[in-house]
Amino acid sequence: MPLFGRKKSRSSSSSSSSGTLDFSEVKLGKAVGAGRSGSTFSAHWNGRHVAAKVVDLSATSKKKVASALRHPNIVQFLGSASAPPRYCLVFEFMEGGTLAALVRAKSKAPLDFFRLANDMAQGMSYLHEHSVMHRDLKSSNVLLDAQGTAKISDFGLSCVMEVGRSADRTAETGTYGWMAPEVIRHEPYSSKADVYSFAVVMWELLAKDIPFKGQTPMQTAMAVAEHQMRPALPRNTPPKIAELIEHCWNQDPTRRPDFSAIVKVLPFVKQTLSKTDFKNAGILYTA
């Protein structure tokens, strides 16, 4: 039985915005991360442990995106503060760190593949329903709270778009190992580029490794865009999980499912697995 049939739209939930904070009230601690859009610090604000991302004032568009979003699987934006030339975005602090650190931990303990995949798909479905494309989805941009819930973070490259439509966006954005072939080739691309990236993150949950490890960025780009290569799925990957991933990283973006469909199909995929399948694939078994 194929995983995906006809697509149906889903109504979106309401969003809310947050206000402006006093920069002097945001007490920065140690740096906990750095990216192309700024550095993130452990911080305290209003008696609360938070994460503060310090960026240039020119990056105010990130606030416009983040402040309009509120969902259990999106890192919560609390407010912004400015003290030129610095601009600070304050988010909830995620005690569990990055998904990247979890999947590449030395313990190699079984991961709750379906919970994590569902968390990410729910968050991404919400973003797309609110006309936001992430454009840099990868395990290091997925954070975990104290309970292990995965939340989408880092909207430094996000943009407002018409969901599902290939618009006049041809600039190369993202990280090569997770980047869709049409983005690498500087072709018009749509929200389905995020679905491709999601497939690579699902691969990470199974392989517990870096996609195209040992290859240069240029080698990775050529492999994906010109030779239609993908990271090799682990030998014990259950067939229906493999089918889901292959749908999501299809070379043809129009044949990739949307996130609302992925959310619906994940429970079905889980039901096809036996306890032995979970064990062999290194996936935490849950009823």
pLDDT for the residue 232? 97
Task: Kindly state whether residues 276 and 136 are assigned to the same domain.
Answer: yes
For residues 202-222, give the mean pLDDT: 96
Task: Kindly state whether residues 221 and 255 are assigned to the same domain.
Answer: yes
pLDDT for the residue 10? 40
Task: Kindly state whether residues 83 and 138 are assigned to the same domain.
Answer: no
**The tokens of 133 are what?**
């494309």
**Mean pLDDT of the residues in the chain:** 86
Query: In which region does residue 65 sit, left (phi positive, over 0), alpha (psi from -120 to 50) or beta (all else)?
Result: alpha
Tell me which amino acid residue 140 is: S
Q: Is the pLDDT of residue 233 over 90?
A: yes
Q: Does 130 fall in a domain?
A: yes
Predicted confidence band of residue 143 (pLDDT cuts 50, 70, 90)? very high
- Out of 119, 136, 258, 277, the active site residue is 136
Q: Is 53 annotated as a binding residue?
A: yes
Q: Does 3 fall in a domain?
A: no
**How many structural domains comprise the chain?**
2
Long-range own/partner contacts, residues 251-256 (CB < 8 A, 24 or more apart): 251/181, 253/166, 253/180, 253/182, 253/189, 253/190, 253/192, 253/193, 253/195, 253/196, 254/192, 256/192, 256/195, 256/196
Q: How many CB atoms lie within 10 A of CB 34?
A: 12
pLDDT for the residue 228? 96
Task: Kindly state whether residues 56 and 105 are assigned to the same domain.
Answer: no
Q: Does 34 fall in a domain?
A: yes
Q: Does 6 fall in a domain?
A: no
**The tokens of 94 are what?**
């995620």
Task: Kindly state whether residues 195 and 86 are assigned to the same domain.
Answer: no
pLDDT digits (tens, 9 = 90+) for 56-97: 665 555 556 677 789 999 999 888 887 776 788 899 999 999
pLDDT for the residue 287? 85
> Quick check: 156 and 62 in contact, CB under 8 A?
yes
Alpha carbon 167 to chain centroid, angstroms: 21
pLDDT digits (tens, 9 = 90+) for 255-269: 999 999 999 999 999
**The tokens of 265 are what?**
């199909």
Q: Would you call 258 a catalytic residue per the annotation?
A: no
| CATH number of the CATH domain containing 265 | 1.10.510.10
Q: Does 257 fall in a domain?
A: yes
Q: Does 88 fall in a domain?
A: yes
* Owning domain of residue 199: 97-281
| CATH number of the CATH domain containing 74 | 3.30.200.20
The residue from 50, 67, 92 where one domain ends is 92
* Residue showing tokens 């859009």: 37
Alpha carbon of 177 to those of 211, 264, 281: distances in Å?
Answer: 6, 27, 22
Strand partners, 50: 43, 92
Q: What is the DSSP letter of 11?
A: P
Task: Kindly state whether residues 80 and 132 are assigned to the same domain.
Answer: no
pLDDT for the residue 15? 35
